[in-house]
Amino acid sequence: MRVPKSIWQSKIFRIGLSMILLYFAFRKVNIINLGKELILVSPWATVGLLGYLGLVMVLGAWRWSLLALEKVRFGDVMAFAKATYVGSFYSLFFPTAVAGDLLKWTSLTKKYPQVHKLRLAGTALIDRLVGFTAFFLEALLALIIGKSLGYQFPGYLLWLFVGINCGLVVFYCLAYLVNFPVILKKNKYLSKLSELAELLRSGNKKRLLSCLAISVIAEPAWMVWSYFIAKLFGIPLTLIQIFIFMPVIALILVLPISFAGFGAREQLFLYFFGQLGIPVEKILVMSTFSGVLGIISSLIGGLLLWL
């Protein structure tokens, strides 16, 4: 598959920006001591954290399989989990993780020849939408709770997430209550939204609600992973602090502004967790280790691609 030139140009930009952000994040810390902390992490702890992340990905795979298949068995969930890993591997080569999610269905075509490719691709898109719906809602709640507890956030973030959540509500209402797809088809720039709305209208509403419920469980479960990493390095973060800051950090990292989140993740961790009085070195070792585990998890997807 030939990769468009714009992708490579964007990749160069992201790597360059990551290097700049990493420089400003690490310029005042002892890199040697930080490296020693990372090296001293028990291999079993690393395996355990990767295993926990895998369980969270299985939850996401279960959600997607419910959208794509009429009857879902355990083997189907595992097949979709493999595809989810493959999608995370693809994400390493594209400007944003969303691209990997939209390509992950391609690894399922041989196993499910009876399922139309458009259904696999379409349900991958719906799966992403459902996941984002839960995540944006939880991010908004996290911002509101965080502000009420006196934590600092950029003022525009609250209004941004309010606007996005209102936009999602409007989109769902229009998709189900009016002939939204027909209206959007008249505008070539909105035709993709039309296709998405048609998929929603034709989908099983009970299953969509079940998938939303799975997302509401899966997103906090994913955030607990960061809590375990914090405890591994003796960082005094509470679960409520993780639940307040991680949704905001994760949603910002979706933007195509860095390579695998490096640089941007460190700056965001410093900005949000630094206000809690945690030493800079501890924050950076947590963010770096999170990024390294994310890369390892994505590379596992690369291995599964050939199995």
Domain range annotation of the chain: 5-304
If we measure between CA atoms, which residue out of 291, 285, 209 comes closest to residue 18?
291
Residue type, 212: L
| Res 73: pLDDT | 94
The DSSP annotation for 170-221 comes to: HHHHHHHHS-HHHHHHTSGGGHHHHHHHHHHHHS-HHHHHHHHHHHHHHHHH
Distance between start and end Cα atoms, the chain: 19
Token pair 């809590």: residue: 227
If we measure between CA atoms, which residue out of 60, 32, 72, 21 comes closest to residue 271?
21
Q: What's the pTM?
A: 0.80
Helix (H, G, I), strand (E, B), or coil: what is residue 303? Answer: helix
Give the whole-angstrom CA distance, residue 125 versus residue 98. 9
| Res 89: pLDDT | 87
Helix (H, G, I), strand (E, B), or coil: what is residue 35? Answer: helix
Exposure string over 27-48, b if 16+ CB within 10 A, otherwise e: eebeeeebeebeeebeeeeeee
Q: pLDDT tens per residue, the chain (307 residues)?
A: 454 545 445 566 666 656 665 655 566 566 777 778 888 889 999 999 999 999 999 999 999 999 889 899 999 999 999 999 998 888 877 666 666 777 888 889 889 999 888 888 888 888 888 888 888 888 888 888 888 888 888 778 888 889 989 988 888 887 777 665 555 555 555 555 566 666 666 666 788 889 899 999 998 899 999 999 999 999 999 988 898 888 888 887 776 665 656 677 888 888 889 888 898 888 888 988 888 888 889 889 888 887 7
Give the whole-angstrom CA distance, residue 204 versus residue 187. 27
If we measure between CA atoms, which residue out of 28, 14, 202, 45 comes closest to residue 123?
202
232 sits in which H/E element: helix 205-232
Burial of 54 (0-12, 13-18, 19+ CB in 10 A): middle
What is the token pair recorded at 159? 């209004």
Report CA dihedral (265, 270, 273, 275) to the nearest 10 degrees.
Answer: -150
Handedness of CA 265, 288, 104, 119 (dihedral sign): negative
Is 61 within 8 Å of 83 (Cβ atoms)?
yes
| Res 120: pLDDT | 87
User: Which residues contact residue 211 at a Cβ distance below 8 angstroms, ignoring those fewer than 6 apart?
Assistant: 63, 66, 67, 127, 130
Give the whole-angstrom CA distance, residue 244 versus residue 32. 31
Q: What is the CA radius of gyration of the chain?
A: 20
Give the whole-angstrom CA distance, residue 214 versus residue 85. 18
User: Which residues contact residue 228 at a Cβ distance below 8 angstroms, ignoring those fewer than 6 apart?
Assistant: 49, 52
